[in-house]
Amino acid sequence: MKPIIFGFCCMAAAGMVFLSGCGKQERENPFMKAYDTPYGIPPFEEIQISDYEPAFDAGIAEAKASIDSITANTEAPSFDNTILPLDNLSPTLDRVVSVMFALAEADASPELAAVNEKLMPKYTAFTDEMMMNQALFARVKTLYENIDTVNQPLDERRAITDTYTQFVRRGALLSPEKQAKLKEVNGKLTDLYLKYNKNLLNANNTFEIVVDKKEDLAGLPQTTIDNAAAEAKERGKEGKWVFTLHAPSRLAVLQYADNRDLREKMWKGYTTNATTGDNDNRPVINQILKERAKKAALLGYKDFASYMTADKMAKTPEAAEELLMKIFVPAKNKVAEEVKVMQELSNSLGNNFEIAPWDYYYFAEKVRQRDFALNEAEIRPYFAVDSVRKGIFAMANRLYGLTFEEMPDAPKYHPDVKVYDVKDEKGEHLAVFMTDYFTRPSKRQGAWMEELKTSWVNPDGTVERPIIYNVGNFAPPTADAPALLTIDDVQTMFHEFGHGLHGMLSRVRLKSQSGTSVDRDFVEFPSQFHEHWAFDPEMLKVYAHHYKTGELIPDSLVQKINAASKHNMGFMTTELAGAALLDLKWGHLNPEGDIDVDAFEKQVADELGMPAQLTFRYRSPYFKHIFGDDGYASGYYTYLWAEVFDADAYELFREKGVFNPELAGKIKHILESGASEDPMVLYESFAGRKPSADAILHQRGLVK
């Protein structure tokens, strides 16, 4: 993407850039009208850095005009003249913001990062202005207070209630003085989140471990060694090996490297990430905590955790903590059993050290190989990324009748991206689905699903279908082999595809109720639920073929994978539940002075009795879920909360068949319904009862 270069006499307008000189050329800003592309995919190749700001400003103006039109309406407030236009304030703003947000996370250039930093505060200011607009809120409030006097469809009633709740939670009931303070707090938080994320991306990309002796690579898979050599070459260190904090590199070192010093360097590098120099996120965290506490107090809550859980299924942080402790305690006890077994194995090999955190992955893998004869290097050739992609598509076809046709000529924002036309069981277009799976410096860590466009029904009855994408950070192909996935990678791919299905299958009328716009503690249900099919023996026969020979994965390997599925589950559950509890503990604070971030984490770990051999899944300076924005703040518990639902649901499939068409149809209804119905009502219509927490403990092997 090359920025356009202007001459002295060029002039920029919101929708058109005019270039004049010897000849006259005209270039239209692609954001300024509906895209003339297949299914409205953004024309990424045409978009230039100079397009974002004028389109953004035009979109804000368009949205403000829509709001003025709503408030100027002299007719009594109704769903059609108030809520419906609020649902679609500015198509222009939707287009520019969706692309900017997507690329800022998945393929950020320095120029785009600068644009994002400039426009995000403007976006926050606009949303604050809208949510505190008293004339607009008065119309919403009238609808809310009279909701029981009008016979409206359920989705409209929910939309009115949710809209009113959002206005209140954004300060609509506050005095003008307090609204001004809240706007100031929100502006500061936006700046702090941008700084936190920038520090984290810089820290991730600057860290490296350079190895110059081949013997120090003992135990590592050849694909990891090859990727480290390629990374070294790219960094001007040809002939050496460079390991980074990106998951494929980091986890391979911790799991397989025989060199204990190398493992220790990697573990310490990861757990001190974003804690040094200009990239130190601990001062940023302190500022975030103070601003969040101010926000909660302004809105009438005792702390930020109470504010963030009030509109979720949990309702209170205490309810979330109660569930987490039911899982954390048996998981912690399981860790003691796991460490004992690993220590015995280490001692038998002649080692004279106690298992340390940087040894956990390594000896857990040794135990897995010994007890289950399961060697991941033996398994990965059956899980080339294209094979697993075939698997997720096959699952969607068996359960929901979907088919996926690649669109090789469709617009894409990076060469790694693949684009698919998704069709429903009738062969009609359902959605566009994009995949972007490989790690690169321009992409933040982790894996996620997002929408470039949601789905909704226009007033004239025409239907808009969504554009969904999945992003991962898997090790890329090498010169000799395609991208080969680990067991965790495969599970991640099914997980994010579950989110994708939630977006693709959406059939609601309203944009605001589409797809994943459900309660935060229900949004992980579809993703985690579909993970169960990743290693189902019937599914593996469909997609797990050796990348060289085409051989189907042997039954013996399938049996080993499933036999080992609960291996190391104490560790994985304890670090996850511990991180969720740490998140809520941060949310309870109302600090006036600075908090020692490291000391606070240690205090929480000591109170929980966190085993010395592990730590929280994420330390706070790189816990992007909770400090990179408000999304999962005081909400990381939702993964385990939702797992209660998905484990319970899968038990029904195990009883009646994993591709049972009746049950699949009921799950499809949940996915299609988005936020148009209460999630517990949707779940009870599927299961005939509320979910039981017993299934999660059994499936994780934490109880007999």
Q: What average pLDDT does this structure show over 540-563?
A: 95
pLDDT at 498: 98
Q: What percent of the chain has pLDDT over 90?
A: 91
Average pLDDT over residues 428-450: 96
pLDDT exceeds cutoff 90 at 638: yes
* Active site (catalytic) residues: 496
4: pLDDT strictly greater than 50: no
What is the number of other CB atoms lying within 10 angstroms of the CB of residue 91? 15
- pLDDT-based confidence at residue 25 (cuts at 50, 70, 90): low
pLDDT of 52 over the 70 cut: yes
Nearest Cα neighbor of 33 from 57, 56, 15, 11 is 15
Specify the pLDDT at position 8.
26
pLDDT value at position 129? 97
Contacts of 372 (CB under 8 A, 6+ apart): 560, 563, 564, 567
Residue 524's pLDDT is what? 95
The pLDDT value given to residue 468: 98
**Residues 429, 421: contact at Cβ < 8 Å?**
yes
Confidence band of 31 (pLDDT split at 50, 70, 90): very high
The span from the CA of 126 to the CA of 109, in Å, is: 25
User: Is 700 exposed, middle or buried (CB count within 10 Å of its CB: 0-12, 13-18, 19+)?
Assistant: buried
The predicted pLDDT at position 21 comes to: 40
Q: Retrieve residue 209's tokens.
A: 């471990």
pLDDT category of residue 17 using cuts at 50, 70 and 90: very low
pLDDT tens for each residue of 228-263: 999 999 999 999 999 999 999 999 999 999 999 999
24 DSSP β-pair partners: 20
- Is residue 18 scored above 70 in pLDDT? no
Which residues, in sequence order, are bridge partners of residue 28? 16
Average pLDDT in the chain: 94
For the record, the structure tokens of 478 come out as 């090498």
Residue pair 303/632 in contact (Cβ under 8 Å)? The answer is no
Whether 614 contacts 335, CB under 8 Å: yes
244 within 8 A of 440, measured Cβ to Cβ = no
- Mean pLDDT to the nearest integer, 46-67: 98
Please say if the pLDDT value at position 652 is more than 50: yes
What pLDDT score does 107 carry? 96
pLDDT over 90 (residue 351): yes
| DSSP secondary structure letters along 113-158 | HHHHHHHHHHHHHHHHHHHT-HHHHHHHHHHHHTGGGS---HHHHH
* H or E element that contains 163: helix 154-169
Mean pLDDT (whole number) for 64-69? 98
pLDDT, residue 12, reads 30
**pLDDT one-digit tens code per residue, 137-171:** 999 999 999 998 888 999 999 999 999 999 999 99
* CA trace torsion 616, 624, 319, 185 (10° rounding): 130
Region 676-690: mean pLDDT is 95
Q: What digits encode the pLDDT tens for the residues 362-410?
A: 999 999 999 999 888 899 999 999 999 999 999 999 999 999 999 999 9
What Å distances lie between residue 186 and 96, 151, 178, 498, CA to CA? 22, 37, 12, 32
Q: Residue 669: pLDDT above 50?
A: yes
Per the CB < 8 A criterion, the answer to whether 297 and 170 are in contact is: no
Q: Is the pLDDT of residue 20 over 90?
A: no
Q: What is the pLDDT of residue 521?
A: 87
> pLDDT category, 302, cuts 50, 70, 90?
very high
β pairing state of 241-243 and 209-211 = antiparallel
Residue whose tokens read 């009594």:
76
The residues, ordered by sequence, that sit 6+ positions from 646 with a Cβ below 8 Å of its Cβ are 524, 525, 528, 529, 531, 532
| pLDDT band for position 2 (cuts 50, 70, 90) | very low
User: Which residues, including other chains, have CB under 8 Å from residue 118's CB and lie 6 or more apart?
Assistant: 53
Beta-carbon contacts of residue 481 (< 8 Å; ≥ 6 apart): 223, 226, 547
Q: How far apart are CA 419 and CA 434, in angstroms?
A: 4
Half-sphere CA count of 262, side-chain side, radius 13 A: 28
Q: What percent of the chain has pLDDT over 70?
A: 96
Bridging pattern class, strands 403-406 and 418-423 = antiparallel
Q: 703: exposed, middle or buried (C-beta count within 10 Å: 0-12, 13-18, 19+)?
A: exposed
